[in-house]
Amino acid sequence: CLQSLKMAQEEDKEEAVIEFYDSFKDLFQFFCAHTTVHGGIRLICSERNMMKTAFWIILFFASFGLMYWQFGLLFSQYWGYPVSVAIRVHSGPKIFPAVTVCTLNPYRYTQVHKYLKELDQMALEVLSTWYGFNASEDITPNDSIGDGAGHGIKNISDNMNITLDQSIPLVLIRDKDSLDSSSAHSFPLDKKGFRVGFRLCNVTGKDCFYQSYSSVMDAIQEWYKFHFINIMSQVSPMTNVSDSSPIGNVIYSCQYNGKSCSGSEYEHFHHPVYGICYIFKSNGSDTFWETSKPGIAYGLSLIIGTKQEDFIPLLSTVAGTRVMIHKQDQPAFMEDEGLNIKPGTETSIGMKQDEVNRLAGNYGQCTFDGTDVKIKLYNTPYSVQACVRSCFQYLLIQECGCGYYYYPLPPGAQYCNYNKYPSWETGHCYYKLYKKFVAGDSGCFQKCPKPCQEFKYKLTTGISKWPSQNAENWIFHLLSHHNGKNLTNNRRDVSKLNIFFQKLSYESFDETPSISAVTILSQMGNLWSFWFGSSVLSVIELIELILDVIAMSFILTFKWHKLKK
């Protein structure tokens, strides 16, 4: 029976189209004798010495183990998606960035005093009772003041019911848990353990928020601003901003690249804190703002007027103008990136431009145009500031029922004020939400990724006295004659601003993958060559060995079942 079986096998072997191995031993011997993987031939040469054979088997598989361990480390780095930054230098003509100039005074005091009269009286009582300072003459508006640096209000009915919530006075706070307004006048300010501030409670009065400061000046300003935005939020819907402050009232002279600016080279808007703002920018089609030379002579030069006599005394405590340099299509958030220009000086700002290109997807969180961000913006191009402020405003509307006066309103929403929201519970709601926002617990910063392409401007500022003592007479005379204004020889009324490129060349910081597909294949080849001194064909030989072992297993299993039957 066994002899007939062997004969049948020999017949099958002779008739087979593909000749195969008789046993696993033949298979491994053939592989070790012919493979290009180093060390394989040693297994055959040492088959008569069991000790050497065992040594080479251990060495062979240990090398495989170490190599694949390094493969694992390599792939873990690759799947971590690291990036490297390539710095490139570019040069050539470019478009001048947008420049926004604000007056640092939201409204002309002579035109809003009637709405702030009651608030000013409360502030005067605090200053007089607590500190013995009588400032009534200093903050009484002078109706004879002409057009000022601030922004006026038109088309407002005198019958508007503008109210002030006097239940939120400025008091001394013992600690964060207790507040004694009845004994506020009996404690000296500099006594330890006391802070100045005010308390905001919800409608029930059980949940209160304490807004206190160690500095008296900061406390008075924040308390005044709190009431100011509440009052002016009732006035703002009837404010006519479009033609209330011509540019000639603020910008006495404008030159760019040695040419005078025309009326089409600027836009304007009203900021609730920084007043009327003018944006000098390109409309996207004209070539006026193209620059091909660096230097102060080829930049933007402005002479800016400041009428400090008409500033709101307890709100606008900083005189001068606020300036921000930003990308053409970027909205101006003056409170975040602006800088102040001192009156009576010539301020020169030199710029250097940098471009940052980030990788999206697995390599980092960034957005190209904001369409993939869940936060809805206020009809502005995407920026981190616009996204974060839009997010906070939507959270405020969702949790408090109304919007904050400093931020733009989405359609259908209204600003918070006393009349619409009794006891202004939203003031208590706002400060608690803002504290959460500043601490980073609101989730807005996580929802607003950085743009994938971003332009940054590095600024170098120089300040000098302007005009000089010998030149101030004729300069003020010419400015008065040219603008039709009665300018006294007082430096506090004017300032000069120069903005220019220090150099036209700029650096771009481009993120690139540290480990690409080509890189990882190259490193795998280096590791394979290091451990076995072989090539890609050697890998194919191993794959062929694995396939042969699988095929051999099926063949022997089939023959075993056939023999068993």
Whole-number Å distance between alpha carbons of 313 and 139:
6
Q: Is residue 531 part of a domain?
A: yes
Q: Is residue 501 part of a domain?
A: no
Q: Is residue 166 part of a domain?
A: yes
Q: Which of 237, 254, 271 is the last residue of a domain?
A: 237
Q: Is residue 118 part of a domain?
A: yes
Radius of gyration, CA atoms only, the chain:
39
Say whether both 64 and 127 belong to one domain.
no
Q: Is residue 207 part of a domain?
A: yes
Q: Which of 193, 212, 237 is the last residue of a domain?
A: 237
pLDDT tens readout for residues 391-411: 998 898 888 888 888 887 888
Q: pLDDT tens track of the chain, all 565 residues?
A: 445 445 545 555 554 445 567 777 777 777 777 777 776 666 666 666 677 778 877 887 888 889 889 989 999 988 889 999 999 998 888 889 999 999 988 888 888 888 888 888 888 888 887 777 776 555 555 544 444 445 555 544 444 567 777 778 887 776 544 444 333 333 344 445 577 888 877 777 777 777 778 778 888 888 888 888 888 877 755 444 444 557 778 888 899 988 888 766 688 888 888 888 999 887 766 677 888 889 999 999 999 988 788 888 888 888 889 999 998 888 888 888 889 999 989 999 999 999 999 999 888 889 988 888 888 877 788 888 889 988 998 898 888 888 888 887 888 888 877 666 554 556 778 888 888 888 888 888 889 999 999 988 999 999 999 888 888 888 877 777 766 666 665 677 889 999 999 998 889 999 999 888 888 888 888 887 787 777 777 778 778 888 888 888 888 888 888 888 7
Q: Is residue 497 part of a domain?
A: no
Q: Which of 175, 208, 237 is the last residue of a domain?
A: 237
Say whether both 119 and 75 belong to one domain.
no
Say whether both 51 and 139 belong to one domain.
no
Q: Is residue 352 part of a domain?
A: no
Cβ–Cβ under 8 Å, residues 461 and 448: no
Say whether both 67 and 120 belong to one domain.
no
In sequence order, the 6+-apart residues with CB closer than 8 A to the CB of 564 are: none
CB atoms within 10 A of CB 395: 17
**Overall number of domains in the chain:** 2
Burial of 87 from C-beta contacts in 10 A (0-12 / 13-18 / 19+) = exposed
Domain residues for 233? 113-144+156-237
Q: Is residue 274 part of a domain?
A: no
Question: Is the model's pTM score more than 0.85?
Answer: no
